[in-house]
Amino acid sequence: MAVLVCGIVAASCAPERFIRDDELLLDGVSLKADDKKIPLSTIEGFVRQHPNSRWFSLFKVPLGVYCMSGSDSTRRVNKFFRRIGEPPVVYDSVQAERSRSNIEAAIRNMGYLQATVDRREQVNKRKMKLALDVTSGPCYFVDQIDRRIDDPTIDSLVAATWQESGLYRGMPFDINKLDAERSRITTLLQNSGYYRFNKNFISFDADTAIDNHFVALTLHIPLYRNRQEDTLTVHPRFYLRDINYLIDTDVSALTNDSATIDTIGESYRFVYHKRPQLRPSFLMTKTELRPGQLFDESDVQDTYSNLSQLSAVLGANVTLSPSDASADSLDAFVSVMTAKRHGVSASLEGTNSAGDLGAAVSLGYQNRNVFRRSALTSLKLRGAFEAIKGLEGYSDQNYIEFSAEANLNFPEFMFPFLSRDFRHTVKAQSIASVMFDSQDRPEFHRRVLTAAWRYRWSRMNQQIQHRVDLADLNYVFMPWISETFRREYLSDNGNRNAVLRYNYENLFIMRWGYNFYFTSLPSTAQSASYGQNAYSLRLAVETAGNFLYGLSNLLHGQHSQHLDAYTLFNIAYAQYVKFDFDYAKSFRFDERNSLALHAAFGVAFPYANSRVLPYEKRYFSGGANSVRGWSVRGLGPGSFSGSDGRVDFIRQTGDLKLDLSAEWRTHLFWKFDGAAFVDAGNIWTLRNYEEQPGGQFRFDTFWRQIAVAYGLGVRLNFGYFILRLDGAMKAINPAHEHGRYHYPIIHPKLKRDFHLHFAVGMPF
């Protein structure tokens, strides 16, 4: 592989045979300014021509792939190399001059009215390096700001919100900020009834004939005139009149005798050809438009967004037109195209768990419009079979799992006492779910019954999202445990393992949780994984057992000596608190390269009625989304190395987790992207469990137990989903505290230290 990459890089050094003798290869573009206050990263986008791209900002591999093709462009192999590669970028003096003039104009717009940009060309053999040098000159500042708004109503609206303006005395004379103020005022007025108002009505007069590079600025909004020959008048304000819902039809149905038109009140009309799938009253709650109210453009956009989020809606559109009834009114037409109500799905998958082969089949059903309120009901049945080998002392060598799950998702807040304003400013979901899972292993049989009621909501821009698990009930019970497993792992005469025993007892979990998520990217932007300067923050907290513990103490509930815990219906219940923090940040260097950083921390503490966390709530490390040099659940806790060098799914869990990652991401070609990464982290226990030696967290030793891995990855990026393949090597292995095995980065062994992970989506 290394030889191939070296060959490609070497090929990129000889692209001259693909350009004419009178042409030059663009080898680099540099941008410099004499004033450090000028944001070069902002004006780099005005460069019209860039040199050939580099993988990881170092190697011109796409150019090298192109140069591996021969001169005969008709041959299939040459066509292939040219299609996946990148042709040499030939220097274009016209584009260079356009870049210079665009950058000069952009810097002058920032307030440097006398700025100049010089173009320097440096030729070395047949390669051109272009340098653009910015001489900024003095920066002009705004000395005074006046408003001249001829419409008194608009003048009062602008004056009332002037504190929100980005303009202030002493600011640089930045044209971009003036344009942002034009957009702000336009949005303000369009949300205040001014249907026909646009940015072209707003202008700025700038008087630069003031000493010491100061500018006198005047904002001007004239009176309204639709045509040149019309008389100037105040800007018209519009009110909504009729709200027309066109359900699976178009506006022509209003004059079609075959269409049915229902009315609610005097202004709501519902037009359809067959019984509408959505209740009219429900559609009204998802519409922000109200008869008699001033036109508000934000209400139009929110209505469109609300309807588009419904599972029963295939498409939606909102249009407005002047009403024939009066000159200052608008009629709204809300078009709703409904989706198919029922859907079924089936899937078949193969499984491979540590060499044990199996298969699983899933059947699903969806009803997208329960109660005619776009409530989504989903039912899922799943069955799995796995042939387990290598288990001695067990009569049955198969694993069988069966699960049934039902969910009911309401596209609204199903909760009393919430204000109408709150309901209409958030996108909410109320979710009820139940699930039963049955697992039959050779060692034991396990049953899990869950029921939950939760809420999810976000503001309209979806940058902040919330989730509350109001009630989440879990009942885990073990109807059968083999004598072999009980004797070897659970009995007092065998291996005394508190963690194992706790996770093979019947257990009841009654929990509450809250999740907060924020991303700096607006909902219309693409994922921050590639080419975006963005960050995201996730916080989560949950607790369980407090209500039951307080009730047990208050009512002198039953206490089990065997379990050393209070019980509910003779079943112990878990009590713990858990907190998780997750932060990710990406830095964009150019259109093909970015750096992503990630930090995650989690801690869970069992107390009062519990001394061990439930298995489902414990942390694990390793795998495709953690420290990738280890298999999933193959790392930790601390310096614990598992059982006889094998992964131990029960013991290799903990109460505290730390993950740190840095990943350089680069676009390769077509849909393929690459990554080079370094991961670090581990898990620890808060208590000292004899069965997990070296696993307890201690401030004086934990830093020596942080595992480190490095590797390369390939991603197949389709935009809406990403397939990922990562290969990682161990660098520091805390399972070995000293010697060559502690530093496999110095003494690598591929079979021992390498792990390959396939996953869907980005690791963070």
Residue-wise pLDDT for 408-424, tens only, equals 999 999 988 888 778 77
Q: Are residues 165 and 121 in the same domain?
A: no
| 747/689 same-domain check | yes
pLDDT value of position 494: 41
Q: Are residues 70 and 183 in the same domain?
A: no
pLDDT tens for 352-370 read 555 567 789 999 999 999 9
Give the full edge-to-edge strand order of the sheet including 313-322: 260-264, 268-272, 239-247, 329-338, 313-322
A 10 A CB-CB count for 160 gives 10
315 occurs within a structural domain: yes
Q: How confident is the model at residue 490 (pLDDT cuts 50, 70, 90)?
A: confident
| 757 domain residue, yes or no | yes
Q: Which residue, of 313, 338, 363, is where some domain finishes?
A: 338
Domain range enclosing 305: 239-338
Q: Are residues 150 and 129 in the same domain?
A: no
Which is it for strands 141-149 and 214-221: parallel, antiparallel or unpaired?
A: parallel
Pair 91, 206 in one domain: no
DSSP string across 138-187:
PPPEEEEEEEEESSHHHHHHHHHTGGG-S--TT-B--HHHHHHHHHHHHH
Identify the CATH number of the domain in which residue 643 sits: 2.40.160.50
Task: Kindly tell me if the per-residue pLDDT of 705 is higher than 80.
Answer: yes
Q: Decide which of 162 and 417 is more confident.
A: 162
Collapsing DSSP to helix, strand or coil, 62 comes out as helix
The count of structural domains within the chain is 4
- Has residue 420 been placed in a domain? no
622 and 633 Cβ atoms separated by less than 8 Å: yes
Q: What is the pLDDT of residue 208?
A: 82
748 and 646 fall within a common domain: yes
Residue pointed to by tokens 């590669």 = 85
Residue 373 within a domain: no
Based on the domain organization, do 217 and 244 belong to the same domain? no
30 shares its domain with 171 = no
Identify whether 33 is part of a domain.
yes
pLDDT at 2: 47
Res 496: pLDDT: 53
Query: 184-193, 449-458, 686-695: lowest mean pLDDT where?
Result: 686-695
Backbone φ, ψ for residue 456 (5° rounding): -130, 135
Q: What is the mean pLDDT of residues 522-538?
A: 66
Q: Please name every residue paired with 545 in a beta bridge, in sequence order, or none if there are none.
A: none
36 and 104 fall within a common domain: yes
Residues 6 or more apart from 431 whose CB is under 8 A from it?
407, 408, 409, 410, 452, 453, 454, 455, 456
177 with 268, same domain: the answer is no
Cα–Cα distance, 91 to 128 (Å, whole number): 7
Residue 538: inside a domain: no
Those residues with Cβ within 8 angstroms of residue 511's Cβ, 6 or more apart along the chain or in another chain: 469, 472, 474, 542, 543, 544, 545
Can you give the pTM of this predicted structure?
Answer: 0.85
* Burial of 95 from C-beta contacts in 10 A (0-12 / 13-18 / 19+): middle
Q: Which of 338, 356, 385 is the last residue of a domain?
A: 338
Residue 596 in domain: no
Asked which of 189, 221, 253 is the last residue of a domain, the reply is 221
**Is 190 found in the same domain as 126?**
no
**Polymer length of the chain:** 764
276 in the same domain as 189: no
Residue-wise pLDDT for 231-273, tens only, equals 999 999 999 999 999 999 988 888 887 889 999 988 999 999 9
AA identity, residue 72 = D
What CATH number does the domain containing 191 carry?
3.10.20.310
- Contacts for 145 with CB less than 8 Å, ≥ 6 apart: 167, 168, 169, 217, 218, 219
How far is 317 from 336, CA to CA, in rounded Å? 7
AA identity, residue 221: I
Q: Is residue 276 domain-resident?
A: yes
